[in-house]
């Protein structure tokens, strides 16, 4: 039975993966292209684990075969086989590359399908990704695009070769209002996705790594400290943009786009986001912005026009986000290499 440990090829070839761990394990973290088709479900895994503690490995294995024999085995092999036929380039893994993935590989072989399994399983592949992400970040020439909220940093970033969109990997726009319509994945999923992106970036031989100026936290995630520290050894490119244009950018992202994604839940989500920064705004300013938001929403519901949302957006930009970012820029240890509008920054980084 084939064992593979060329982890880099899994990333660069975007290999589909069959994860035969239990769902509770998969939910804590997995890899790009992985589908959870467990050998043991959560309840069966718990029963086998208890038997292992009470009577040892042989008794646990015997119970496992008892739980998933007969029709249960046939059903699980059929699901693996269906995926394997659709993705013949797939690999199999479990937590340590031991019994579970070996059994799945053996049963598939008996059904006439040969799929390699990952040596060392999830644990070994995860260790590889973590080490490679730290190495590549440390060796990269990092260019960091900064600028006030709404200056279009993400829009510019996604036009540039050699960029990695950290907010997209985290499924979060990076501010208190940045929660997407779909939830963020697990922290480990974010770290694995970042490692995939860094490995691919290195393989494409870009001269520099371009990222957006971020806190070490993006929503409820954090960038691993060795990687974040490596990013902070880069240089800062400040994107400058007039207030009127920034209001339009924020309006498009947080009103037009999110209303389309979230529907009726949108306004409640905006109020929740505002509440998250209430202490930093102060009660008086919080009440003022909240009133502006309600007036804008009532106007939109009555007349079908959303433009009045630009009023509270301008208030937040001028009275909250701009002073906060200007303070951060004054205190930053990053050397500022260049300042300019979107065209100038694009030309500079291209």
Q: Give the chain's mean pLDDT.
A: 93
What is the pLDDT averaged over residues 247-269?
92
For residue 100, which of 7, 28, 22 has the smallest C-alpha distance?
Answer: 22
pLDDT digit string, tens, across residues 260-285: 988 989 999 999 999 999 999 999 99
Same domain, 40 and 145: no
Q: pTM score, two decimals?
A: 0.91
Same domain, 110 and 238: no
Residue 124 lies in a domain: no
CA distance 149 to 97: 46
Q: How many domains in the chain?
A: 2
Q: What is the residue whose two structure tokens read 């400058």?
A: 240
Same domain, 103 and 162: no
Same domain, 80 and 184: no
* pLDDT of 258 higher than 70: yes
Residue 272 lies in a domain: yes
Same domain, 65 and 214: no
What is the pLDDT averaged over residues 194-223?
94
Same domain, 322 and 175: yes
Where are any strands of DSSP class E within the chain?
Answer: 3-4, 17-19, 34-36, 91-93, 117-118, 142-146, 209-212, 217-218, 221-222, 235-239, 336-340
Residue 125 lies in a domain: no
> Using the 8-state DSSP alphabet, how is residue 153 labeled?
H
pLDDT digit string, tens, across residues 126-138: 999 999 999 999 9
What is the pLDDT averaged over residues 106-117?
95
Same domain, 170 and 273: yes
Q: Looking at 11, 18, 94, 238, which residue is catalytic?
A: 94
CATH number at residue 146: 3.40.50
Strand 221-222 to 217-218 pairing:
antiparallel
Residue 77 lies in a domain: yes
Cα-based distances in Å from 120 to 100, 117, 297, 346: 12, 9, 54, 43
Same domain, 135 and 109: no
Same domain, 194 and 304: yes
Q: Is 94 a catalytic residue?
A: yes
Residue 13 lies in a domain: yes
Q: What is the residue whose two structure tokens read 């303070």?
A: 327
pLDDT digit string, tens, across residues 26-81: 999 999 999 999 999 999 999 999 998 999 888 988 898 899 989 999 999 999 99
Q: Quick one: pLDDT at residue 182?
A: 63
Residue 46 lies in a domain: yes
Which domain, by its residues, includes 105?
3-119
For residue 62, which of 124, 282, 54, 28 has the smallest C-alpha distance?
Answer: 54
pLDDT digit string, tens, across residues 159-188: 999 999 999 998 876 555 655 556 778 999
């Amino acid at each position: 039975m084939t064992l593979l440990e060329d982890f880099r090829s899994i990333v660069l070839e975007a290999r589909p993966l069959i994860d035969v761990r239990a769902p509770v394990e998969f939910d804590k973290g997995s890899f790009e292209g992985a589908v959870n088709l467990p050998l043991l479900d959560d309840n069966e895994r718990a029963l086998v684990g208890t038997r292992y503690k009470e009577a040892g490995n042989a008794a646990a294995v015997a119970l496992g075969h008892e739980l998933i024999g007969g029709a249960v085995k046939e059903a699980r092999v059929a699901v693996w086989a269906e995926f394997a036929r659709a993705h013949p380039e797939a690999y199999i893994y479990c937590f340590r590359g031991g019994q579970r993935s070996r059994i799945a590989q053996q049963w598939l072989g008996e059904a006439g399908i040969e799929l390699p399994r990952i040596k060392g399983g999830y644990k070994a592949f995860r260790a590889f990704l973590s080490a490679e992400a730290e190495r590549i970040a440390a060796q990269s020439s990092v260019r960091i695009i900064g600028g006030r909220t709404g200056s279009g940093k993400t829009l510019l970033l996604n036009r540039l070769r050699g960029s990695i969109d950290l907010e997209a990997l985290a499924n979060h726009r990076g501010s208190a209002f940045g929660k997407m319509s779909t939830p963020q994945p697990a922290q480990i999923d974010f770290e694995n996705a970042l490692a995939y992106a860094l490995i691919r970036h290195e393989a494409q031989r870009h001269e520099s790594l371009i990222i957006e100026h971020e806190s070490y936290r993006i929503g409820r995630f954090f960038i691993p400290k060795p990687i974040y520290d490596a990013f902070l050894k880069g240089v800062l490119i400040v994107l400058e943009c007039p207030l009127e244009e920034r209001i339009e950018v924020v309006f498009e992202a947080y009103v037009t786009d999110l209303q389309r994604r979230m529907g009726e839940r949108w306004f409640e989500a905006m109020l929740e986001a505002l509440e998250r920064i209430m202490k930093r705004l102060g009660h008086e300013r919080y009440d003022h912005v909240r009133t502006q938001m309600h007036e804008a929403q009532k106007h939109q519901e009555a007349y079908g026009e959303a433009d009045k949302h630009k009023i509270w957006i301008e208030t937040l930009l001028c009275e909250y986000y701009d002073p906060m970012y200007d303070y951060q820029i004054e205190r930053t240890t990053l050397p500022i290499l260049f300042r300019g509008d979107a065209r100038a920054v694009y030309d500079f980084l291209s």
